[in-house]
Amino acid sequence: MSVIAVIPGDGIGPEVIEQALLTLDQLRLGLDFDVLDHVNADTFLRTGVALSDEDFERASSSRSVLLGAIGDPRVGSPAYGRGVLLRLRFELDLYVNHRPAKLLHDRLSPLRADSARAVDCVVVRENTEGLYTGAGGSVHAGSEHEVALDVELSTYHGTARIVDYAFSIARREVCMVDKANAVESGGSLWQRCWRAAASRHPDKASRHLYVDAAAMQMVTDPTGFDVIVTNNSYGDILSDIASAVAGGIGTAASANLNPERGFGLYEPVHGSAPDIAGRQIANPVGAILSAGLLIDDLGHHEAAAALRAALSEAVAAGETTPDLGGSLDTRRAGEAIRARL
């Protein structure tokens, strides 16, 4: 039996994770869930501890982790989010952020019909380097003489392995995105690793775009992309754009992976949405699709395909939460999907 650690988290996290777990239960895959429902902002505000060593051990010794959302407006420090999500990413070396974007129904795209006709791509974001490592600092903070420095860290090891992963999952093409014309040192490293990986994968096409051009193409004709690979900060932005043109952030799933270990942390990317928490109007699609990524990576490919098909049918029928044009609450939207399994 595979043990899955579950961190429902904050805001709408517990609401959407409940629907994801009910959906996995209905698939009868022999999964066992270790629910860490005390890892949340309430605990952090009371104790100052974001993720205890004991809870980190429970998560890291599981088969995978399913996460709802982290974030609470009562917490004024980034220490909480970094202490949970970034600790798991960095200490477990989850160097791949895998963000698929596939249009579930034509009506959901903000683009004109001909541009939205077949959005189906993956943004592969380097997840443990870049600007988010916390390297840097400031002097004279709070004064008119303040100097702030954030260091974008790229290594050959980290860059080479993320580009190789992108080629390994591509169906037809990898587009490497950087800003080498302005960020010379890191850009040169990414260019070198990309060219080397392309030579090792002659069966896959490859091309390069600067990040501004990639963003423009994403909102004019995203159908030209198969797999995009890029650094941490650019990937953060481009993956959200991809989600928006594919139906909205409420439908966006993600996986944080270490492919060599076969370990992943799976999460919807919509955040904790505290303004609608407790109202049962949160969209469970992103959480359920994240659960689908999880079971797919565990080898349950037929079950994952059935989950995606049932979800697509429910969306096509308009049996969704209001953000996707329906009138169902969170629970009934989850039930509509499970009724089609």
37 belongs to the catalytic site: no
212 belongs to the catalytic site: yes
Distance (Å, whole) CA 313 – CA 310: 5
Residue of 34, 120, 240, 329 marked catalytic = 240
Is the separation of the CB atoms in 266 and 254 below 8 Å? yes
Residue of 55, 95, 179, 234 marked catalytic = 179
102 belongs to the catalytic site: no
Residue of 80, 132, 234, 266 marked catalytic = 132
236 belongs to the catalytic site: yes
Strand bridging mode 205-210 / 227-230: unpaired
240 belongs to the catalytic site: yes
Residue type, 125: R
The CA-atom distances, in angstroms, between 26 and each of 44, 95, 192, 258, 329 are 33, 31, 47, 28, 20
Residue of 10, 55, 72, 236 marked catalytic = 236
26-32: long-range contacts, CB 8 A cutoff, minimum separation 24: 26/338, 26/341, 27/295, 27/300, 27/303, 27/306, 27/307, 27/341, 29/2, 29/295, 29/298, 29/300, 29/303, 30/1, 30/2, 31/1, 31/2, 31/3, 31/4, 31/295, 32/1, 32/2, 32/3, 32/4
Distance (Å, whole) CA 45 – CA 302: 42
Among left, alpha and beta (phi > 0; psi -120 to 50; other), residue 98 is beta
Sequence-distant (≥ 6) Cβ neighbours of residue 329 within 8 angstroms: 280, 281, 321
Catalytic positions are 132, 179, 212, 236, 240
